[in-house]
Structure 1
């Protein structure tokens, strides 16, 4: 394997911020992988500590990738080192930018990036546990010195590390999830944007068509939103958007989302309907604290009123709400 990066001319692999789906695919195929973690940043950089890439054997002696660090400054070189790690299993520590031994690799941002590479075997216990926590929607910590890794069910900062010897502890939250109820153009636009943004996207359309939606989603359910949310389970990494325009369904879904502690709960509709909807939810037992977290007529004013414009504003709100405050800087 040469370490030539697949699709380097059109690096769509950089869209995949969560390495776990690619890791699951490699393990299912019985292939090893190399996990690259950005553990320290000095100065300006496109990505912060905790950003990751995953490398797997590709086709025609190349190497496949998920994720990105610098927007095409170092990815090709990291891929070359990853190929070596795949071959010999030895972890590597890489330093790019200011003070780096590779003076021919320039970072446009002018900072310095420090990356650890570690090989993950197909039968890795740590990787198996990492993926299990993701399926069960439980946060965990990946604790690794590059030679061996363990997973602990815990929370904490996104990333901590010690330098000598190098050891990183990286937090993994459950995958971001978007549940959209409805079937009109606005609901479909929101669901498709969510899927394109790599959310685990679930479309709920009560008594909807038996045929699936015309774009990929994680699940398509034809039951009432409240029933769907009860079955799926709600957590703070879940966003719910009610867009059936029928209060029977949207209010039931919102109440279930609020009571379940969803990270974002919204309902599309005219602002003039807000007082009546709030009164109904209050009568159904919603607390003042829950109602304060409800987004009625969600989105960003001024973007426009077409389905894509409204959906773009709503997705921006959802991304901000589900992004931990400590990582918004």
Structure 2
């Protein structure tokens, strides 16, 4: 069987960091999949331990890939091993770079990468538990020795590893989510960049047009931001950006997001409005701790004032705030 990666000349599959949506598609289609986990890195590497790729076989025999490890140094070879694991079900541990048995595969950055590849069945209880935790927005730990898998509740480091033989405990957090309220060019730019950045993006536009947004988002809602947040719920993996420029909506949305424990809360507006907005939120009952977590005039200073420049700075700030490496769990 071929291990050629589908559309390998244009590896946009590497844009995806979270393999769970692709895994959910494979499960829905009744497909077996192979999960590859980067479990150890020696020296420099584009990705750290815990990075993952998912592979499925297409009807023409090619391998569909999601995720990346090295920026095209080893992905093709990992896909070949993934095809073998799909066929025989036997997990493999792969060693690339310094000390590797495959001296013809060179890593441009030096160092060494260690990968475990395992076959996933669509009816496995652990797989359904993993996807259920994602839907319910709860963290969990995927425990695997390559042959048997189980999912447990809880937090911890992104990846725990025991070797000889390899056993992985990989943490999965709820998918990153971005709620943007507003309908001007800046709000729309932020929503589109969020969607392109792999956020589960929800665009809220109170009494907005009936037709959906002209770009893909997870949901488009026409209700007040506070009402949408109350219904959706927020958590520390959720960012909220108020950009309606109407205090009735932006203040209500920010207060609901702050009280819900959102990981990032921002409100676009002139700096001259900041003092009045803080006073209004305090009058509505916001505590000093909640207000200290509010980003007024959010984003990176100095990028420019066009919608895309402003949105780029805000999305970068949100990515930093929701980065799993910042977790203290």
The bucket for the TM-score relative to the shorter chain is: over 0.9
Distance of 1:156 and 1:288 partners within structure 2 = 30
Deviations 1:148-172 (A, max 9, x none): 1100011000001100121000000
Distance of 1:79 and 1:327 partners within structure 2 = 31
CA shift, 1:60, in A, is 1.6
Query: What residue in structure 1 maps to residue 100 of structure 2?
Result: 100
Query: What residue in structure 2 maps to residue 177 of structure 1?
Result: 177
The answer as to 2:86 corresponding to 1:86 is yes
Query: What residue in structure 1 maps to residue 225 of structure 2?
Result: 225
CA shift, 1:325, in A, is 3.8
CA shift, 1:324, in A, is 2.8
Distance of 1:325 and 1:59 partners within structure 2 = 38
The gaps in structure 1 that reach 5 residues or longer are none
Query: What residue in structure 1 maps to residue 123 of structure 2?
Result: 123
Deviations 1:277-304 (A, max 9, x none): 0000011111111101000000111111
Query: What residue in structure 2 maps to residue 71 of structure 1?
Result: 71
Distance of 1:326 and 1:311 partners within structure 2 = 22
Query: What residue in structure 1 maps to residue 32 of structure 2?
Result: 32
Distance of 1:42 and 1:211 partners within structure 2 = 51
Distance of 1:160 and 1:30 partners within structure 2 = 30
Residue aligned with 2:300, SS: coil
Residue aligned with 2:36, SS: strand
Distance of 1:324 and 1:11 partners within structure 2 = 25
Distance of 2:144 and 2:211 partners within structure 1 = 45
Residue aligned with 2:228, SS: helix
Distance of 1:274 and 1:327 partners within structure 2 = 29
Distance of 2:219 and 2:14 partners within structure 1 = 24
Query: What residue in structure 1 maps to residue 256 of structure 2?
Result: 256
Distance of 2:166 and 2:255 partners within structure 1 = 47
Distance of 1:233 and 1:319 partners within structure 2 = 20
Query: What residue in structure 1 maps to residue 313 of structure 2?
Result: 313
Query: What residue in structure 1 maps to residue 209 of structure 2?
Result: 209
Query: What residue in structure 2 maps to residue 324 of structure 1?
Result: 324
Paired positions, count: 328
CA shift, 1:326, in A, is 4.6
Residue aligned with 1:180, SS: strand
Distance of 1:155 and 1:228 partners within structure 2 = 28
CA shift, 1:177, in A, is 0.1
The answer as to 2:186 corresponding to 1:186 is yes
4+ residue runs over 2 A deviation: 324-328
Deviations 1:74-101 (A, max 9, x none): 0000000000000000000000000000
Distance of 2:265 and 2:248 partners within structure 1 = 16
CA shift, 1:327, in A, is 7.6
CA RMSD, 1 decimal? 1.0
Deviations 1:229-268 (A, max 9, x none): 0000010000000000000000000000000000000000
CA shift, 1:131, in A, is 0.2
CA shift, 1:187, in A, is 0.4
Query: What residue in structure 2 maps to residue 19 of structure 1?
Result: 19
Residue aligned with 1:4, SS: coil
Residue aligned with 2:256, SS: helix
Residue aligned with 1:82, SS: helix
Residue aligned with 1:5, SS: coil
